[in-house]
């Protein structure tokens, strides 16, 4: 097996893991978690989310590395170049599609940062019973808001990832952009 094939397989596998995790989190997990007691459902969602977060970050890292390795193996990288691509590649639909896919990858990373470091910590832990009623209510509102935003960003993440996958598939035909 050539390096180019290996890079391609790893790249596609990483993207499959990423999109598969999003589909699981959006379509499979919610009905399953809703079918059990709410407290247990929250624990299941949190534990599954922890594992999915590790898989997602690993996949995003692997997508970046294998994408760079693939372009390098195809002789398309240039330092200096037009955003590291050879000028003759960057000016084509193929090159523009690569730029767009990198931009979408950056969006996935930004969404991941918000979900991992802003929203998920707001959902973690229990509400302290020693808090006043007003403080407990505020904490509950904060947790409900974080859960709502997490759900919205999860759907946006899935839409962006599917768009990037379609663009990646289009590269075999010269690109979409």
pLDDT value at residue 6:
96
Mean pLDDT of 153-159: 97
pLDDT value at residue 63:
98
How much of the chain, in percent, has pLDDT values that exceed 90? 76
CA-based R_g, the chain, Å: 20
The 3 state secondary structure assigned to the chain is CCHHHHHHHHHHHHHHHHHHHHHHHHHHHHHHHHCCCHHHHHHHHHHHHHHHHHHHHHHHHHHHHHHHHHHHHCCCEEEEEECCECHHHHCCHHHHHHHHHHHHHHHHHHHHHHHHHHHHHHHCCCCCCCCCHHHHHHHHHHHHHHHHHHHHHHHHHHHHHHHHHHHHHHHHHCCCC
Token pair in block for residue 163: 């768009």
Mean pLDDT of 144-161: 95
Q: Are 5 and 137 in contact (CB under 8 A)?
A: no
pLDDT value at residue 73:
94
Token pair in block for residue 132: 């006043």
pLDDT value at residue 146:
93
pLDDT value at residue 82:
73
Task: List, for residues 66-124, the tens digit of each pLDDT value.
Answer: 999 999 999 999 887 777 888 899 999 999 999 999 999 999 999 999 999 999 999 88
User: What are the residue boundaries of the structural domains of the chain, listed by start?
Assistant: 3-173
């Amino acid at each position: 097996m050539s390096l180019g094939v290996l890079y391609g397989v790893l790249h596609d596998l990483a993207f499959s893991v990423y999109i598969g995790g999003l589909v699981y989190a959006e379509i499979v997990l919610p009905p399953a978690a809703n079918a059990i007691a709410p407290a247990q459902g929250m624990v299941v969602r949190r534990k599954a989310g922890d594992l999915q977060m590790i898989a997602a970050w690993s996949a995003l890292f692997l997508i970046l590395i294998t994408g760079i390795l693939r372009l390098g193996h195809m002789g398309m990288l240039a330092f200096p170049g037009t955003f590291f691509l050879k000028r003759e590649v960057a000016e084509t639909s193929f090159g523009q599609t690569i730029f767009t896919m990198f931009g979408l990858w950056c969006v996935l990373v930004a969404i991941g940062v918000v979900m991992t470091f802003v929203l998920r910590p707001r959902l973690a832990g229990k509400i302290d019973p020693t808090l006043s009623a007003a403080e407990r209510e505020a904490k509950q509102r904060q947790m409900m808001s974080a859960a709502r935003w997490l759900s919205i960003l999860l759907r946006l993440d899935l839409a962006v990832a599917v768009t990037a996958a379609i663009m990646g598939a289009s590269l075999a035909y010269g690109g979409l952009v």
